[in-house]
Amino acid sequence: MSRLRIAPRQFLATLPLFADLSSEQLDMLAQATTELHVPRGRVVVERGESCSGLHAVIYGDVKLSIVSSEGDEKVVELIGPGQSFGEAPLFMERPYMTQAETLADSMLLHISKHAIYAQIERNPGFSRSLLASMSRRLHGLISDVESYTLRSGSQRIVSYLLKDDPAQGAQVTLAARKKMIASRLSLSPEYFSRVLHDMAHRGMVGIAGRSITILDIERLRAYEG
């Protein structure tokens, strides 16, 4: 796996989460940051493991999921570059409720919880950023509950494809394999694939691997498979 050489402080400075920190505070946070190069398919944290800090993704993708004793998996969230995970167990001081696994060769930063606590005490702006981050997660979870209970399976897929408000002719890249996306939407992989191919058959989208081209956005918005 090729390695991108980047000082932790440089990357920390690009994250909205740390936008309110001074140069000195970023230096202090960087001293408590560990650079992790994790190959694809490696578990970063196990469910039930104690949380020792926050993880931020520089490149790659991380899947947060819950695996039952029978081996069934529910994908809770997909974390990409510039995003972080571990806020809830960090501040609740509880073990991880999900397992984190890399979907691609990834570079992560692990920031010690003690350093984060220290910055919270020194910087109200940092506290607000953390609250905003956790609020976005909560809003996303509420949206998920709404989707699962009030929307049909095909409506969930349409919402996923249009969540970033793409324009006519835009390309939407699936964040992971179709099986992962289906689990994220609480759908079976077979149903997810069938709906996508029906959309393609009707000329609403074009499919090339993980790349979905929006061909008829108005008909797609009104789609009911």
pLDDT tier, 15 (very low <50, low <70, confident <90, very high otherwise): confident
pLDDT tier, 133 (very low <50, low <70, confident <90, very high otherwise): confident
Other beta carbons within 10 Å of 112 = 16
| CA 196 to each of CA 73, 122, 171, 177, 200: distance values in angstroms, whole numbers, following the listed order | 22, 50, 14, 13, 6
Name the residue among 192, 189, 193 with its Cα closest to residue 179.
189
Residue 75, both tokens: 């994908």
Check whether 95 has a pLDDT greater than 70: yes
What is the SS3 string spanning 139-165? HHHHHHHHHHHHCCHHHHHHHHHCCCC
pLDDT of residue 1: 45
- AA letter at 32: A
Check whether 5 has a pLDDT greater than 60: no
**Between 199 and 126, residue with greater pLDDT:** 199
pLDDT of residue 6: 55
The mean predicted confidence, pLDDT, of the chain is 88
Check whether 217 has a pLDDT greater than 90: yes
CB 199 within 8 A of CB 220: yes
Mind listing the domains of the chain with CATH numbers?
8-149 (2.60.120.10), 151-221 (1.10.10.10)
Mean pLDDT of 79-86: 90
Check whether 2 has a pLDDT greater than 70: no
